[in-house]
Structure 1
């Protein structure tokens, strides 16, 4: 499998397998439901990432920790460089918000040489304390559905949107669309590598900024307008 992986990581019983089952429709390979062994560390699975532009098989790695600080130190070490380079997105599952863990993830992400999208996936509806906004982690409540007041998708659908924006190292044997067609538009546009890389870098900088959500939306709309050479309305995103 010539692609980066999704790392699903959390404490024991934090909802890792629940998320993987919801994402893929099946349980991870190697999972022994009759065993008394509760650790899911080392399990793997596969997911077919599919949208209107491409289809790709993406591997999932499942890890489990008892001490997050020690675990993240291991991932940040030089010995784990090859592993980190093979990760395209991280899903951190948790049942209740723990400020220390949220802070550890912020520090870990901030120190990465090449940023990796990290989702803090809240897996429990009984403890809905929402973590503070972070430029490095995106909070998603797994059991929410529909859209918020800004028209943004919630829950698993939001996670899928994030996956669509990740870099998965496409190879020449995969069927990748060369035409990017915006919703509601009849015309299409072709982007060369330099233009596409510039757009990706702009989006990454915007996602990592401290701007409030309305300002980020305004800048995102301006990116789209610069590409389509016509007035693009926020309603076109709905």
Structure 2
């Protein structure tokens, strides 16, 4: 059976663990995930699954988490209900710390507990008809503490070690990436209702917008300076204030201006245009990291981003 409209997987890690998330996604899917703009957050990558019973291309939504508690609150809000409803899998990726009580260990535990809270309260914990995995990347031998931490939250812990480690344990059970794939393959992916499909397509199209933008911040028609194209929560008034601040900052140098004040309707000079592009690229990166958040949360992130960009000026 070919599953044309599978449920989704949400794969997350801490913001400073991009390399581990990239490795796991590559090992699971066979291909490297593509970043949107300057970050992996907000991108989507397909996991091809083929068993004796079905074939499917399961989309994986990737996210990097800076504040686990805030992330959990946003995904447990009423606005995130539809996102949770279409999930068939949730994967946490973290670096196994050598010392569990180190700062790295505490950060990992906070991540697991926060995402586990979403699994337990938002998805139903062990009664959820999806698969929830916590992949610890590292070579430590004693992982009992992490297994217990995950089990309490309805998560299956899987250690991902180097590829030289045998893929089966002493009991003949699969370990590492092969075990993660086994768990994902055994899941039921065919339960997304058609009523949600158009919303999902629109959401995933937004995640792919950056693939049409070159590294210099321009598409085939030139720089995209339309605030509405960012599509993540701030309005035109915010943008005009930001644009004015960028123009004013450009007048602080000794370079002659080839244009007048933007309120006069003439073009900015090359220097101001470049500054505008750089600021827009920063805002686009913020948009990528906030993709998938409820609208109210995205607006808060957007307002903060605009304030931080203006502060830099």
Match status 1:167 vs 2:185: no
Q: Structure 2 regions of 5+ residues with no counterpart?
A: 97-104, 193-313
Contact 1:12 1:40 in 2 (8 A): no
Q: How do 1:226-237 residues align onto structure 2 when only pairs under 5 Å count? A: none
1:128, 1:41 → 2: CA distance?
Answer: 31
Q: Which residue of 2 aligns with 1:23?
A: 28
Q: Which residue of 2 aligns with 1:117?
A: 131
CA deviations on 1:20-53 (whole Å, 9 max, x unpaired) are 1111221223456xxxx3x311011112111121
Q: Which residue of 2 aligns with 1:58?
A: 58
1:170, 1:55 → 2: CA distance?
Answer: 14
Deviation at 1:169, TM superposition (A): 1.4
Q: Which residue of 1 aligns with 2:76?
A: 76
How many aligned residue pairs are there?
A: 166
Give the number of the structure whose residues are more often helix, by fraction: 2
Deviation at 1:146, TM superposition (A): 1.9
Match status 1:4 vs 2:7: yes
Residue 112 of structure 1 aligns to a residue whose secondary structure is helix
Q: Which residue of 1 aligns with 2:259?
A: none
Scaled by the length of structure 2, what TM-score is found? 0.48
Q: How do 1:1-238 residues align onto structure 2 when only pairs under 5 Å count? A: 2-14=5-17, 15-31=20-36, 37=38, 39-96=39-96, 97=105, 98-114=108-124, 115=128, 116-125=130-139, 129-130=143-144, 131-133=146-148, 134-135=151-152, 136-143=154-161, 144-169=165-190
Q: Structure 1 regions of 5+ residues with no counterpart?
A: 172-238
Scaled by the length of structure 1, what TM-score is found? 0.62
2:183, 2:114 → 1: CA distance?
Answer: 21
Contact 2:14 2:111 in 1 (8 A): no
